Structure 1
Amino acid sequence: MPRRPEQLATYAALVHWTRAERLWQGQSLAVEAHQGFAHAAGTGFGVPTGLGVSLMPLRHPYEAAMQARSLALSTGHPVLAGFGPGGRSLQSAMRGEPYASPLTAAEEYLTIVRGLLRGQSLDFSGEYYHCQGALLPSPSPEVQVGLGVLRPGMARLAGRLADAAITWLTPASYLRETVLPALREGAEAAGRPLPRLVAMVPMALPLPDVDAEAVAVASNGSHLQAPHYADMLKRAGIDVSGSDPLVNARALIEGGAFLAGEVDELVAQIEEFWNSGVDEVVINLTGVANIRGPQAAMRQVKTIVTALSGMEETR
């Protein structure tokens, strides 16, 4: 999470000047992602952006649609706006109680956001969300709607409704064997093309005097405490039920959920995601940034992007 908007500008510049395709930001509780991206555009680096994923309980779907389109207008580039219900504790904190059915809540949310972005005038009343109205007409770059996906039920819903399924901490093998078949099942049931699959992948090059397990904990320690992530990882064959965070982190690395190694090793592991049907891999250096700061993370992402660009040029 950037603490100052100017920290995002350097990453936007990287997307602008390299073969990286999009600047991504997860839910931020510091600099709000839409505003951070707009600030970067104001510095001269308007680039395609992705929100992966904004938490539904924090924003009404009308506001979500308006913010996503406003971002496209501010940057002059396409936006992929991803949404997800978040964990039960967040849902309770924001709503007073968790969603009885996160799938129903996500379906209602995406239905409203997609309808508004398509220029529809809505009169929608669901179990969790209601919307009567439309966005004011305004030509803008394309805004696609994504859904955060961890398990088959949400993947099937993304297949029916979303432009993209967005995953986090999901090994390539799990995407290939579990997520993609469910995504395809949902798309076929709705008679629509298969949505794009985006994998947000935490990773790190070696850091002096820091074990890879410590970087993984700095990146994903909180996720390992969340039941929905633990369940997804269990389905993927990764046991993180132990009490030792470093042991759990080692399981993440060995299971391919967190990538660690020299640059050639990371490139090979990223290529495995592409070979598993992933359309877009998001390089995430959160653990490095949390331990050594954003400049260290920037150095690593430059190294990885350069290596990936060189690999593409030799194909």
Structure 2
Amino acid sequence: MSAYASPPELSVLLPFVPRRPEQVHPFSSLVQWTQAARLWQGHGATMDTFGTFAATAGAGFRVPVGVGVTLMPLRHPLDIAHQARSLAKTTQHPVCLGIGPGGRDFQRALLGEPYRSQIGAVGEYVDIVARLLHGETVDTTGEYFSCHTALPAEPVPDIEVGLGVLRPAMAQLAGRSADTAITWLTPPSYLDEVIVPGLEAGRAQRTAESTPITATDVPSRPRVVAMVPVALDRPGRDRHDVVVASSGRHMAAPHYRDMLDRAGIAISGTERADTEQLVKGGAFVFGDADEVHEALLDFGRAGVDEVVLNTVGVCAVSGIGAALADLGDILSVPHP
């Protein structure tokens, strides 16, 4: 297991796409009044994630937030850096800005064709965003993205630049370029054996290329955030239904199937057998509150710094109230 074996922080993923900012308030309140460190939301297809978080902050629910992940084809790097700074100033809390390229079909729909190199495009994008947020004047003409400007100097809470990571090549890129690596559906063994070593290798390369003064200021790897699907074992709750509602789409996606195969979780296409494999392999956490809590500690032993509790499946099957109840019970277990 990783040398980074301290218990992870616990955070909360908004388990649905909101249609009104008011729907987010109970989850923001959960972060305000429990041990939860941060409220996360992915790409908002109905309401823009940045706008949703700004609206809830304006209603008095100012909490640390994470965007995991925003999709590159939607915004120029300057715009996403500006959005992240605006959100940090609005909430007056740190922001974790997760960035990802989106699927190839999504890229084709917006750009006409996918990025020729996913790694190349992500590397250019993250480099520009990070330099802008660090106060640099960027003068870059790339294959995919160009920027020749700077953001105005302003005091602002910390903003981490995160990168969505599933496989070794992206882990190495995150090690070179990002503050945070954000994973989804990755079991602890895979994080420990594949992702964390990839992050460390990428960071070592970055350190070797830096001046000695810069190198001493760089942690040995980015912070690791794992989005972990969870559900409590409650009377009448069918584990299969919850796992499928949460992760069925991912089990059908080639890049997730490849990651799971590398993690020793073979997806056969037989739905019930595949859901059992996800649970058995530690990618989906199911049990009573104490069992779930112990499983989450395994992520810390694997090198994860922050576990984001993903109750999407519970919400889809049993509703928002059930998701809030599961989150409340999990977060009430004393955390080391």
Report the TM-score when normalising by structure 2: 0.89
Q: What's the CA shift string for 1:276-310, capped at 9, x where partnerless? A: 11111111100111111212111110110111xx1
Mapping for residues 1-315 of structure 1, pairs under 5 Å: 1-191=17-207, 192-193=218-219, 194-242=221-269, 244-307=270-333, 310-312=334-336
Separation in 2 of the partners of 1:208 and 1:106?
45
Separation in 2 of the partners of 1:207 and 1:65?
42
1:87/1:228 contact within 8 Å kept: no
Q: What's the CA shift string for 1:69-121, capped at 9, x where partnerless? A: 10001100000101011221212122111122111111001011011111112
Q: What SS does the aligned partner of 1:221 have?
A: helix
Separation in 1 of the partners of 2:83 and 2:195?
29
Separation in 1 of the partners of 2:287 and 2:320?
19
Alignment gaps of 5+ in structure 2: 1-16, 208-217
Match of 2:210 in 1: none
Q: What SS does the aligned partner of 1:233 have?
A: helix
One-letter amino acid of the counterpart of residue 201, structure 1 = V
Q: What SS does the aligned partner of 2:46 have?
A: coil
Separation in 2 of the partners of 1:166 and 1:62?
21
Could you tell me how far 1:139 is from its partner in structure 2?
A: 1.2
Could you tell me how far 1:17 is from its partner in structure 2?
A: 1.3
One-letter amino acid of the counterpart of residue 186, structure 2 = T
Q: Percent identity?
A: 51
- Runs ≥4 in structure 1, deviation > 2 angstroms? 206-210, 244-247
Q: What SS does the aligned partner of 1:300 have?
A: helix
Could you tell me how far 1:10 is from its partner in structure 2?
A: 1.2
Could you tell me how far 1:207 is from its partner in structure 2?
A: 4.3
Report how many aligned residue pairs link the two structures.
309
Separation in 2 of the partners of 1:271 and 1:40?
31
One-letter amino acid of the counterpart of residue 223, structure 1 = H
Separation in 1 of the partners of 2:23 and 2:132?
32
Alpha-carbon distance change, 291 to 115 in structure 1, aligned in 2, over 3 angstroms: same
More divergent stretch after superposition (36-45 vs 140-149): 36-45
Q: What SS does the aligned partner of 1:222 have?
A: helix
Q: What SS does the aligned partner of 1:165 have?
A: strand
Alpha-carbon distance change, 208 to 90 in structure 1, aligned in 2, over 3 angstroms: farther
Q: What is the aligned-residue RMSD (CA, Å)?
A: 1.2
1:87/1:226 contact within 8 Å kept: no
Of the two structures, which has the highest relative contact order with CA contacts closer than 8 Å and spacing of 6 or more? 2
Q: What SS does the aligned partner of 2:224 have?
A: strand
Q: What SS does the aligned partner of 2:79 have?
A: helix
Separation in 1 of the partners of 2:268 and 2:19?
32
1:219/1:286 contact within 8 Å kept: yes
